[in-house]
């Protein structure tokens, strides 16, 4: 048992998938935009401008609340939180302080092993993002880009229910899956659509909390895991040396895989929160919440259940969930076909096809166009007309060109011969040429039958169906 017990809480900022900003009718997709092109008077904090709440953002918060197994507040309000940063021209952020839109949730993160990590969500509040400052190296100036200013964010705050780096990573991934499947966010980590702040403390007494550090702005599951690991190690070393952990904000250096001190508690901000006078409180009718609940898309928990019923392995299910397009293909297959078909196609989706998509040789869109052909290909394995290895040869051409799998198998000479009348001549020849092996089979030697099947396969140029051949040899030798 390690001497110190770690406790971790995570705050996650999720960028909501709205067309326009939270309080301003300006385009919200800053991914490919030149700096300071997606801005309105409000982003600049010009005097006299007034915010108008984007109702789509509220709807997405309701969906997020449902996905988080949380209560959606029928009454919430906005507050001003004061910062003095060059990338925040208003001088304050509009956020929610004491009456957030989402409360009391629970996330059940599932590890590839099947282990479940249950984490309670304290709250989730709606707020606007700030702009972005860059400090060119060697220059005596800084640059401010306000494209991101006013982008809607949902900040999801967990209780400190996490106790290892691996579990922190699992929770971060589960939040990502939930926000993506619920259609709340594009959840594109590369563009910083989800950013994690991890609070880590350690204590010898598991019932108490040590002094915590907060490592901010992690943008991958792996960096969440690594930052937690690093903080546990750093804090353990401090305590072992008889030193104290300082409460502070830290950053993550991804190149060095280390956290570093940014600011201590002494320079903590006084936010001077007060209610936002320009935006009325948000009141949501319970019927609105219910109607959104009834129209929610499939969430990870439901998909896990459906895929497990179809006989997919736990690790395959998690692989599918990581690629929502693949999971959607699987959902359609599972809904309309038997277990055997589902398992065969599940193996392709999580094996061969997943590899080809990762190598950018194939797209999930193309695979989705081939659902009927995938089903036919699976049935060809079932009826013995194609071996599973030959199916893998057919599958790429079938998806890329949209060709019927049977036509490809025929023209590439891959169809298996299962017809007794076509095989019996070769089998008789092989038995008479290998009388010793034939005698061994009669005496019940298991290996000998494999040898004879191999001979038949060779003579048929690999086209005989090996399980049919084995059965016919047994039948011949039993007579």
Least distance (Å) between residue 405 CB and Mn ion: 52
Residue 377: which of 348, 354, 357 has the closest Cα? 348
Quick one: residue 137, left, alpha or beta (phi over 0 = left, psi -120 to 50 = alpha)? beta
> What distance in Å separates the CA atoms of residue 132 and residue 242, rounded to the nearest whole number?
40
**84-123: contacts with Mn ion (CB under 5 A):** none
CA 141 to the chain's CA centroid: 39
**Tokens matching residue 189:** 């980590």
Q: Which is nearer to Mn ion, 145 or 155 (CB)?
A: 155
Closer to Mn ion by Cβ: residue 79 or 155:
155
Q: How far is the CB of 219 from Mn ion (least distance, A)?
A: 15
Closer residue to Mn ion in complex, CB, 155/174: 155
We find the least distance from the C-beta atom of residue 93 to Mn ion, in angstroms, to be 8
Chain length of the chain = 479
Shortest distance in whole angstroms from residue 127 CB to Mn ion: 5
Sole window of 23-31, 154-162, 291-299, 346-354 interacting with Mn ion (rule: CB under 5 A)? 154-162
Site residues for Mn ion, 33-52, by CB under 5 A, read: none
Which residue lies nearer to Mn ion by CB, 126 or 367? 126
Question: 10 Å Cβ neighbour count for 356?
Answer: 19
Q: How far is the CB of 15 from Mn ion (least distance, A)?
A: 12
C-alpha atoms less than 13 angstroms from C-alpha of 356 in its C-beta half-sphere: 20
Cα–Cα distance measured from residue 250 to residue 248, given in angstroms and rounded to the nearest whole number: 6
Query: Of these, 155, 174, 214, 276, which contacts Mn ion (CB under 5 A)?
Result: 155
Residue 251 C-beta: closest distance to Mn ion, Å: 16
Determine whether 47 is exposed, middle or buried from the number of CB atoms within 10 Å of its CB (0-12, 13-18, 19+).
exposed
How many residues bind to Mn ion according to rule CB under 5 A?
Answer: 1
Nearer to Mn ion, 13 or 212 (CB): 13
Can you name the residues that pair with 95 across neighbouring β-strands? 79
Residue 217 CA, chain-centre distance (Å), reads 19
Q: Closer to Mn ion at the Cβ: 101 or 473?
A: 101
Q: Taking the complex as a whole, how short is the minimal distance between the CB of residue 104 and Mn ion, in angstroms?
A: 19
CB of 176 to Mn ion, least distance (A): 18
Q: Which is nearer to Mn ion, 53 or 396 (CB)?
A: 53
**Which of 51, 405 has the CB closer to Mn ion?**
51
* Max Cα-Cα span within the chain: 100
Shortest reach from residue 155's CB to Mn ion, in Å: 4
> Considering only residues 434-463, where is the footprint of Mn ion by CB under 5 A?
none
What torsion do the CA atoms of 459, 462, 463, 466 make, to the nearest 10 degrees? 90
Q: Which part of the chain contacts Mn ion (CB under 5 A), choosing from 149-157, 355-363, 387-395, 410-418?
A: 149-157
Q: Is 149 in contact with 131 (CB distance < 8 Å)?
A: yes
**Residue 225 binds Mn ion, judged by CB under 5 A:** no
Q: E-assigned strands of 271-369?
A: 274-275, 282-283
- Stretch touching Mn ion by CB under 5 A, among 114-122, 155-163, 296-304, 324-332: 155-163
Q: Residue with the closest Cβ to Mn ion?
A: 155
Between 156 and 202, name the residue whose CB sits nearer to Mn ion. 156
Closest alpha carbon to 97 in 85, 83, 80: 80
Cα separation, 411 vs 321, in Å, equals 36
CB of 6 to Mn ion, least distance (A): 24
Return the number of the residue (122 or 155) whose C-beta is nearest Mn ion. 155
**Alpha helices (runs of H) in 41-84, residue ranges in sequence order:** 41-44, 55-67
Report the distance separating Cα 312 and Cα 317, nearest Å. 6
Could you count the other beta carbons within 10 Å of the beta carbon of residue 335?
Answer: 10
Question: How big, in percent rounded to 5, are the helix, strand and coil portions of the chain?
Answer: 45, 20, 35
Structure tokens at 43: 């982003």
Between 155 and 318, name the residue whose CB sits nearer to Mn ion: 155
Shortest Cβ distance from residue 330 to Mn ion (Å)?
35
176 and 192 Cβ atoms separated by less than 8 Å: no
Q: Which regions of 292-389 does DSSP assign to beta strands (E)?
A: none
Coil, strand or helix at 322: helix
Stretch that binds Mn ion, among 43-51, 110-118, 151-159, 228-236 (CB under 5 A): 151-159
Using DSSP's 3-state secondary structure scheme, residue 105 falls into: strand
**Of 103-111, 153-161, 233-241, 279-287, which part binds Mn ion (CB under 5 A)?**
153-161
24 touches Mn ion (CB under 5 A): no
**Closest CB to Mn ion among residues 87, 155:** 155
The distance of closest approach from Cβ of residue 153 to Mn ion in the complex, given in angstroms and rounded to an integer, is 7
**Binding region for Mn ion (CB under 5 A):** 155
């Amino acid at each position: 048992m390690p001497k110190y017990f770690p406790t971790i809480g995570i705050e996650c900022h999720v960028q909501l998938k709205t067309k326009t900003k939270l309080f301003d009718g300006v385009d919200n997709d800053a991914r490919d935009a030149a700096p300071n092109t997606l801005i309105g008077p409000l982003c600049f904090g010009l005097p006299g401008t007034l915010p108008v709440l984007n109702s789509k953002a509220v709807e997405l918060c309701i969906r997020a609340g449902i996905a988080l197994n949380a209560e959606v507040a029928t009454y919430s309000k906005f507050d001003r939180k004061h910062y003095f940063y060059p990338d925040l021209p208003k001088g304050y952020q509009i956020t929610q302080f004491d009456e957030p839109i989402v409360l009391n949730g629970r996330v059940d993160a599932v590890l590839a092993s099947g282990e479940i990590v249950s984490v309670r969500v304290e709250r989730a509040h709606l707020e606007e993002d700030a702009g972005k400052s860059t400090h060119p190296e060697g220059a005596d100036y800084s640059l401010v880009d306000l494209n991101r200013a006013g982008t809607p964010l949902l900040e999801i705050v967990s209780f400190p229910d996490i106790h290892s780096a691996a579990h922190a990573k699992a929770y971060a991934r589960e939040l990502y899956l939930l926000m993506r499947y619920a259609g709340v966010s594009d959840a594109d980590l590369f563009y910083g659509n989800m950013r994690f702040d991890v609070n880590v403390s350690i204590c010898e007494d598991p019932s108490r909390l040590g002094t915590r550090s907060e490592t901010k702005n992690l943008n991958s599951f792996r960096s969440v895991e690594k930052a937690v690991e690093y903080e546990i190690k750093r804090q353990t070393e401090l305590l072992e040396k008889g030193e104290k952990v300082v409460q502070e904000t830290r950053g993550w250096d991804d190149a060095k895989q280390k956290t570093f001190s940014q600011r201590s508690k002494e320079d903590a901000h006084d936010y001077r929160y007060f209610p936002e006078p320009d935006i009325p409180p948000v009141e949501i009718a319970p019927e609105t919440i219910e109607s959104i609940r009834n129209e929610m898309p499939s969430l990870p928990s439901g998909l896990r259940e459906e895929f497990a019923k179809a006989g997919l392995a736990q690790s395959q299910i998690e692989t599918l969930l990581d690629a929502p397009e693949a999971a959607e293909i699987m959902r359609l297959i599972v809904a309309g076909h038997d277990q055997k078909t589902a398992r065969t196609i599940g193996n392709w989706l999580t094996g061969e096809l997943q590899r080809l998509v990762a190598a950018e040789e194939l797209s999930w869109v193309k695979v989705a166009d081939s659902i009927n052909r995938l089903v036919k290909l699976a049935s060809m394995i079932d009826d013995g007309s194609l071996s599973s290895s030959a199916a893998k040869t057919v599958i790429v051409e079938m998806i890329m060109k949209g060709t019927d799998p049977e036509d490809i198998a025929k023209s590439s000479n891959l169809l298996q011969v299962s017809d007794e009348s076509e095989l019996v001549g070769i089998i008789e020849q092989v038995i008479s040429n290998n009388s010793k092996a034939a005698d061994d089979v009669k005496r019940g030697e298991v290996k000998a039958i494999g040898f004879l099947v191999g001979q038949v396969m060779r003579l048929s140029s690999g086209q005989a169906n090996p399980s049919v051949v084995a059965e016919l040899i047994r039948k011949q030798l039993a007579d």
